[in-house]
């Protein structure tokens, strides 16, 4: 759409500007629509258009089935209205965050090398940001229209800064072309957020947590672990961090410190391509060796798709209820 139209859930109407995606317009106006990747690859943001016409790129069948497309479903993160539009109201889910999406500005407070090809970046915000542990922001690559998603590694109790863990991607516009090339303390940064519904659930306080991370997928799990321990310092938390080699491990001191301070925290780094004094293999297998049952646990998984899928399988084999398994597959942010 090249004009401004009104888009409505039946009960809430918001205006959607030229070229603006419907998901973006709803979230910026405080109307919650489930969302995860904002890239057209996960299907979380699908909504059914019941009135009006829309423009959207073709969606792969694995994300939006032909039957769904025939019923009028679209991916709201990829769709612009071509007239005023009414959608079916998205189902209310408990625990969905209600933070309003907005543009955010800040300056780089620190860039620290934390492992091979991995940095931690702290951005000091001009204004505090409300978010839920587990969510992410989209950083704008300077002088381009490109954005890249990065999860916050700090909890929302620190709303004036954001901590990101960023791994270099060979040839990546954002990582090689910017972050690893020139990003420095004092640089201005712009982004939008918070995005996503991979969120810490404070209501689920009576179960232990299993956190399975691959690579820099550890970032949102650090935020979740810190938020959970702020709520309950006795919380049982099993953290499995999978990387290939020792040189990719990071934040070891932080997690060892956490497990020394909080009696319920266990930290288990796992190397898949190197023998060492610690655990080897994949995080799902290590978890299965340690925990005979996950019936009374909830899980958060974040990492590459294959790691997340294997981890979900392992948790189900340990009898974890599927509704207690929350996952975020990260697409390497090139």
Residues within the interface to ligand FES (CB under 6 A)? 35-38, 40-45, 75, 77
Cβ at position 278, least distance to ligand FES in Å:
35
Q: Six-digit token pair at 284?
A: 């799902």
Round to whole Å and give the CA distance between 25 and 196: 15
Smallest distance from the beta carbon of 22 to ligand FES, in angstroms?
A: 10
Shortest Å distance, C-beta 68 to ligand FES = 12
Can you tell me the distance from the alpha carbon of 238 to that of 266, in angstroms, rounded to the nearest whole number? 5
Tell the smallest beta-carbon distance from residue 300 to ligand FES (Å).
Answer: 18
Count of beta carbons in the 10 Å neighbourhood of residue 200: 25
Q: Least distance to ligand FES from the beta carbon of 47, Å?
A: 10
Strand order in the sheet with 297-303: 279-280, 265-271, 237-243, 208-214, 297-303, 325-329
Select 38 or 147, whichever has its Cβ closest to ligand FES.
Answer: 38
The nearer residue to ligand FES, 78 or 175, going by C-beta atoms, is 78
> 26 or 267: whose CB is closer to ligand FES?
26
Q: How far is the CB of 308 from ligand FES (least distance, A)?
A: 15
Among all chains, which residue has been given the structure tokens 């690859």? Answer: 41
Contact indicator for 43, 63 with CB cutoff of 8 Å = yes
What does the block give as tokens for 65? 């089935």
For residues 149 and 284, which CB has a smaller minimum distance to ligand FES in the complex? 149
Cβ-based nearer residue to ligand FES, 151 or 154:
151
- Which lies closer to ligand FES via its Cβ, residue 39 or residue 247? 39
Cβ nearer to ligand FES, comparing 46 with 235: 46
Residue 246 CB, shortest distance to ligand FES, in Å, is 34
Which has the closest alpha carbon to 282: 314, 251, 256, 259? 314
């Amino acid at each position: 759409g090249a004009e401004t139209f009104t888009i409505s859930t039946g009960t809430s109407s918001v205006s959607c500007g030229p070229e603006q995606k419907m998901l973006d317009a709803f979230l910026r106006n405080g109307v919650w629509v489930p969302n995860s990747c904002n890239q057209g690859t996960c299907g979380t943001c699908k909504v059914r258009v019941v009135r009006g016409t829309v423009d959207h790129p073709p969606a792969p069948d694995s994300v939006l089935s032909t039957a769904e497309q025939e019923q009028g479903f679209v991916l709201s993160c990829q769709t612009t209205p071509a007239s005023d539009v009414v959608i079916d109201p998205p189902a209310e889910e408990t625990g969905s965050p209600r933070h309003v999406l907005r543009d955010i500005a800040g300056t780089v407070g620190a860039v620290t090398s934390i492992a091979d090809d991995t940095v931690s970046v702290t951005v000091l915000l001009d204004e505090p940001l409300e978010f839920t542990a587990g969510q992410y922001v989209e950083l704008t690559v300077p002088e381009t229209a490109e954005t890249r998603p990065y999860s916050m590694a700090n909890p929302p109790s620190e709303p004036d800064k954001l901590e990101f863990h960023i791994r270099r991607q060979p040839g990546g516009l954002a990582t090689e072309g910017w972050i690893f090339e020139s990003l420095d303390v004092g640089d201005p940064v712009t982004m939008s957020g918070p995005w996503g519904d991979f969120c810490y659930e404070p209501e689920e306080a009576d179960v232990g947590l299993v956190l399975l991370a691959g690579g820099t997928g550890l970032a949102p799990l650090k935020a979740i672990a810190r938020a959970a321990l702020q709520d309950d310092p006795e919380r049982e938390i099993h953290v499995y961090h999978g990387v290939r080699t020792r040189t990719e491990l990071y934040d070891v001191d932080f997690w060892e410190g956490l497990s020394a301070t909080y009696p319920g925290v266990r930290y288990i780094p796992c190397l898949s391509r190197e023998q060492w004094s610690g655990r080897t293999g994949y995080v799902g297998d290590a978890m299965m060796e340690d925990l005979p049952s996950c019936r009374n646990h909830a899980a958060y998984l974040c990492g590459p798709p294959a790691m997340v899928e294997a981890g979900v399988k392992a948790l189900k084999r340990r009898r974890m209820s599927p509704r207690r398994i929350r996952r975020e597959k990260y697409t390497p942010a090139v």
